[in-house]
Structure 1
Amino acid sequence: MSELHTTLPTEKQPYLLRDREGDRYLMGTQLVTFIASAASSGSLFDLVSISGCAGDGFPAHRHARAHEGIYVQDGVVEVMLGDERYLLAPGDYAHIPAGTAHAYTMRSHNARFLSVTSKGEAGKVYTHLGTATELHVHPPQGEAVDLAALLTEPIDGGDIELVDATPAGEAKLVTNVEVPDGVVPYVIASGGGIHRVVGRELYILLATNANTNGELLVLDNMGPAGNAIIQHFHEQHTETFLCTGGQMTMWGNGQEHQLTPGDFLHVPAGTVHSFRMDAHFTRFFSVLSPGIFEPFFHTLGSPYDQGYIFPVEPGPARFDRLMQKTQAGELDLKVVGPPPDGSGGPGGPPSGH
């Protein structure tokens, strides 16, 4: 059994990246770290983590083809979204459909956020604007970079266009917790979204097929220490796991890995995998592309309206519905074995880990 790649690969395959690892580019005092690229995702999406100093930012622009999502990891980030401005704190999410004018500014020291863009085109912008670096953390000082000036020249295949947009009024804290219907811009406060509970695990859809034209799903997931799920693989979509809180164990093609905040596992179609939440509060961010797996969460999970944290008492886990749809071939899910930790799975006898 071959070992997982632990650097960003140049072709689509399973790989593991530790926190702040990946291909890195410096734009002044902003550090852009590629966690997934067009090459590593098979042109499905780019996923980058961007960190910087207070005042760092990116000028107003739009993508003609790519949908983008921004999820704050650390600090406060101001996001211009169409005619509005928002202050995003850790766990907050901004959804930016193709054609939407947007910009960002770091409003706290050492802010950091994830940006996912569909189609794997927008990432070319960072390799064009930035300089390859061995740094893993943004520097306190650096040479000033006029990003707007650099963007006046077209970037081949970069899917970016500068726009003249300066919304009036003060930036607002994010309070919305509802995901709208349709391909529209919106923001979601930490813990908000479409909730589906499975036992004590809470799966939160931040962006659905309806929001992305089926190009990707974006999820925020949380739960307590528990049991591993069944070993399975997908035939038609890629799944990713980025730990944002606590600790979790991942299994990929028979290999076991512990993930702590910032660690990332890329699971393309055909990769047998499982996971287990290991800390009292475990949280992870997921991108799935294309978005064909959305029915899974509504099948196994049940609506949950008791708050913005996982429940104290386990909710239902609808394995009956899951098995029925899986056997009927209605889900992109192939079960290959029991949970790899020897447990009874979520809601079953504990593994004793």
Structure 2
Amino acid sequence: MLFPPLSRLPKELRERIVDLCAKLPEWWIVLSNLALADRAFTYRCHVHLFAELALDNDFGPKKKLRKQIEQKWKILSSNPSLAKLVRVIDIKASDPQLFSERNFTKMLELFQVSPVPPHTIRIEKRDEANAQPGRFAAGLEQFSLSQSLTTIHLDSWANVPLDIFLVCSRLKEVTLESIEFDKKQTNTRPNNHPPKIEHLWARNSDQLINRFMQIKSPAFPVVHWSNLLILHVSPHERKTMALVQRILDMTSNTLEQLFLTVLGFSDMPEEKRQFPLSPILNLQAMGSLHVFEIFAVINCKAKKHTVLKDLGTTLDSLPRSNSLEVFSLELEIFGKKPYQGCVDEDWEELCHKVVLVSGGKPLVFNLDSGVYCSPSYEPKGTKELYDTIENRFSSS
């Protein structure tokens, strides 16, 4: 028991303390100890500790996953009220029989009767050789998770079932990482209504995104775009960026936030070469856009130094009567002192475009620039470079 006055603090303050502890690096250890220290903190600690049900066999044998399930079921069955706290189901498993594991289905049955069932599921496939993707869609439908899920995160699937979107008709947020689907799939649920997604985050999943945009016969719609508010994609994935303009055309009346900030699947060194965005991206119809963020790279050894000019042209394609409130630019600079290629970029022109787009209304412009460094290389002369950039902005 904690000594007064800590345990006698107002409920709101105790909850605030727990919520702050939940942001610490090893928060689960802190909250576990705090939950045992005083009953006044127990429930709020449990809200964080049991918010996520995680299953991960780490490429291990099937019996390891079964043991995990058995241990978690033992905890939840001995105290069913804890099942009411689960909001996220995180599955990293290669076992296609997961929804046939009795203890796992018992947990799902507990979630079914929860006043607030899980709203988020993350599924990462660990072994495609054993995968039976259709089982996941059927499992979600069987245990009514499809009726409560609003967020889905799919990772590393070479054959994702399109049914998974059709059964989860209430999805609002979709995250795709390295996702593909079998083009031979047919609509096994013609009476289901596709979800009206509001937030899409995607990396290395251009094949499925392209399928999302096929809404006319003979294809069947998998999602509806009419409510999309937020889009996150990588500006360094050419195949994905080739699709972005079509997405913008379909969501010009609703899209409020565009983030071209996702790290490309290949990451480095491909991102050392920034390809032009202005030839493939036109924001003329995006009058509802409030937030626009870009991650770009400047290679000091490039033959032409036109990255900022290209970004300024892209920004300038917004209509003069626009709703933009925040423009953020994150720059990663590759090179060595004196970083001449970076200095030669047209910083003044970018500032001019920002002012032009603002049209006299308040506009927040965030610039975050940094010189790339590796464990084997510590860049020199960065302070002088940052001072130069700041001075050129100030004088613009």
TM range (shorter): under 0.3
Of Structure 1 and Structure 2, the greater strand share is in: 1
TM-score, normalised by the number of residues in structure 2:
0.22
Of Structure 1 and Structure 2, the greater helix share is in: 2
TM-score, normalised by the number of residues in structure 1:
0.24
* Pair member with larger Rg: 2
